[in-house]
Amino acid sequence: MLYLVGLGLGDAKDITVKGLEAVRRCRRVYLEAYTSVLTVGKEALEEFYGKELILADRETVEQEADSILKEADTCDVAFLVVGDPFGATTHSDLVLRAVKLGIPYKVIHNASIMNAVGCCGLQLYNFGETVSVVFWTDTWKPESFFDKIEKNRQNGMHTLCLLDIKVKEQSLENLMKGRRIYEPPRYMSVTQAAEQLLAIIQNRRLQGEEPEINENTICVGLARVGAPDQKIASGTLHQMSTVELGGPLHSLIVTGTMHPLELEMLKLFSVDSSSFENNAFQRTT
C-alpha cells in the first residue's frame, strides 16, 4: 500500500491520528521537501513519529518516482506532504504511477493553506482562482498571475496568492555545466510579492491602462499559518510592501468585494486602521 499522508501546517503534532498510525507501520517513509515546509525540521518529525524519514526533493519525486514505489506492492510505503497531499499536481502523478503498477493507495488528508487561510476572516467560498507569484529575475518578469487576480476582483472574488519557494535550485551556469551545486533556499515574503504587484501596476499605467488593482486595494499578509507564531496583517497593497511578518512561509490575499463581517474581521489585523477605513468600504456588499 502507498499512503499519501498530509502533515498539516504547524509542527510534528499536526499529523492526524490516522496518519501517524499509517506512518508507524510503514517500512519506508518519504518526506516531500520542496512544495512547502514545516516550522520544524526533519529530526523533530523523526523523533515524534519514531521513524527514519527519507527526504524526497523535486528530482526524486518527478524523475525517480519508481524508487518511491519500489516494493510498495508487497510492503507499506508512506509519502508525507506538508499541508494536504493534493496541494501539488506532482502528487497526483505519483498516484497515477501507482495505479499503473497495480499498487493500491490511500490518502490521509489534513489542513492546508487552501482552507486555513480562512483564519483571517475572509469567507472561503468568496475566493476565486488561486495564483502562484514567482520570483522575478533580471530577464524574466511574468505578469500572467496579475491578470488572474484582476479577473477574480472583477468578479468580486478574493485571490489567494501562493508565494514562490526556491529549494535545491541550480544557477543557470551550474545547470549548463552539469554541476550539482545548489543555490541557498529562498522563500518569497509578502513584501516582495507586494512590490512585484506594484511594479506591474506601474507598467500597466505606462501602457495607458488603469488596473482594477491599485496601491489602495485592501490585502492581507499571512505568515506561518498554523504555527504558534502565526502572523496576519491587513491593509493596503502599498502597506503590504513595507510590512514585516518574519520568517517563511508567507501568503498574500488580494481582496474582492467584502461582506461587512469579513471587513470587521480584517480590522482585527489592520496595519493602520485609519487608512483601512478610508479604502475598504469602497468594495463591501
pLDDT tens across 87-102, in order? Answer: 776 788 889 999 999 9
Question: What is the rounded distance in angstroms from the CA atom of residue 72 to the CA atom of residue 12?
Answer: 25
Same domain? 131 vs 102 = no
> Parallel, antiparallel, or unpaired: how do β-strands 28-32 and 54-56 relate?
parallel
Question: Is the pLDDT at 168 greater than 90, yes or no?
Answer: no
Same domain? 60 vs 132 = no
- Whether 241 is in a domain gets the answer yes
Question: Is the pLDDT at 44 greater than 80, yes or no?
Answer: yes
The CATH number of the domain holding residue 31 is 3.40.1010.10
pTM (global) more than 0.95: no
What's the number of domains the chain is made of? 2
Same domain? 120 vs 226 = yes
Same domain? 121 vs 229 = yes
Same domain? 144 vs 215 = yes
**Residue ranges of the binding site:** 9, 84, 87, 112-113, 163, 225, 250
Other Cβ atoms within 10 Å of 202 Cβ, number? 11
- Length of the chain equals 285
Give the domain range for residue 234. 114-268
Same domain? 193 vs 102 = no
Question: What is the rounded distance in angstroms from the CA atom of residue 246 to the CA atom of residue 231?
Answer: 8
Same domain? 140 vs 218 = yes
What are 215-256's pLDDT values in tens digits? 999 999 999 999 999 999 999 999 999 999 999 999 999 999
- Whether 284 is in a domain gets the answer no
Which of 88, 111, 134 marks a domain boundary?
111
- Whether 106 is in a domain gets the answer yes
Would you put residue 16 in left (φ > 0), alpha (ψ -120 to 50) or beta?
beta
Most trustworthy range by pLDDT among 19-23, 171-175, 272-276:
19-23
The CATH number of the domain holding residue 178 is 3.30.950.10
Question: What is the rounded distance in angstroms from the CA atom of residue 232 to the CA atom of residue 190?
Answer: 11
pLDDT band with cut points at 50, 70 and 90 for residue 280: very low
Instruction: State residue 33's pLDDT score.
Output: 73
**Residue ranges of the binding site for S-adenosyl-L-methionine:** 9, 84, 87, 112-113, 163, 225, 250
Same domain? 182 vs 252 = yes
Same domain? 84 vs 137 = no
Same domain? 78 vs 123 = no
What are 145-156's pLDDT values in tens digits? 999 999 999 999
Instruction: State residue 272's pLDDT score.
Output: 87
Instruction: State residue 200's pLDDT score.
Output: 97
Q: Give me the torsion for CA of 56, 57, 61, 63, rounded to 10°.
A: -130
Task: Report residue 245 as a C-alpha cell.
Answer: 511578518
pLDDT band with cut points at 50, 70 and 90 for residue 105: very high
